């Protein structure tokens, strides 16, 4: 009678290997899904990601882009093969900068631009409106 040989590898359930590096990065496709742009053309997705980079502070991709041996900087760095660090990308989304938040409050430019008399007149008008009076200019 032959001895019984147990091989643990054969008894363990076979599962596909998990790519650990893939979980650390967000691809352009995944970014498009998270930003509700999955139905757009790839060129449109890249253009919108570049606009988010310019206007809403989308983090820089981890991988670099070179054109004729020269590194590209800024929004043009985003291309079809861009990869973002998952933690930074999700933090950017969670902070409301992902395009879903309301626009940042902007201070009224009139008090900063005008003279002291203009600022005083505007403050008096605002106080009158709060008090329920209507002041004629």
Structure confidence by residue, pLDDT tens digits, 43-74: 999 999 999 999 888 888 988 888 899 989 88
Residue numbers of the chain with a pLDDT score lower than 50: 99, 101, 103-104, 106, 111
Question: CA distances (Å), 92 to each of 59, 80, 115, in order?
Answer: 8, 20, 39
66-67 and 25-27 beta bridge pairing: unpaired
For the whole model, what pTM was predicted?
0.56
At residue 49, the pLDDT reads 94
- Same domain assignment for residues 115 and 87: no
- Same domain assignment for residues 80 and 136: no
**Does residue 1 lie in a domain region?**
no
Which structural domain range is residue 114 located in?
Answer: 107-137
At residue 99, the pLDDT reads 46
At residue 129, the pLDDT reads 84
Alpha helices in the chain (DSSP H): 8-11, 20-24, 28-34, 42-56, 86-92, 109-113, 116-131
Helix (H) or strand (E) holding 63: none
- Same domain assignment for residues 29 and 87: yes
Residue among 91, 97, 59 nearest 78 (CA): 59
At residue 133, the pLDDT reads 64
Q: What SS3 state is found at 59?
A: coil
């Amino acid at each position: 009678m032959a001895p019984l040989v147990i091989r643990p590898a054969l008894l363990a359930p076979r599962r596909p290997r998990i790519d650990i590096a893939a979980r650390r990065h967000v691809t352009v496709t995944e970014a498009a899904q998270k930003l509700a742009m999955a139905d757009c053309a790839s060129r449109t997705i890249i253009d919108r990601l570049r606009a988010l980079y310019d206007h809403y502070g989308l983090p820089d991709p981890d991988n670099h882009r070179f054109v004729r041996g020269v590194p590209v900087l800024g929004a043009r760095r985003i291309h079809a093969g861009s990869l973002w660090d998952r933690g930074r990308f999700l933090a950017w989304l969670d902070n409301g900068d992902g395009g879903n938040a309301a626009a940042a409050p902007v201070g009224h430019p009139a008090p900063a631009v005008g003279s002291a008399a203009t600022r005083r007149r505007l403050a008096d008008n605002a106080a009158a409106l709060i008090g329920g009076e209507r002041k004629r200019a």
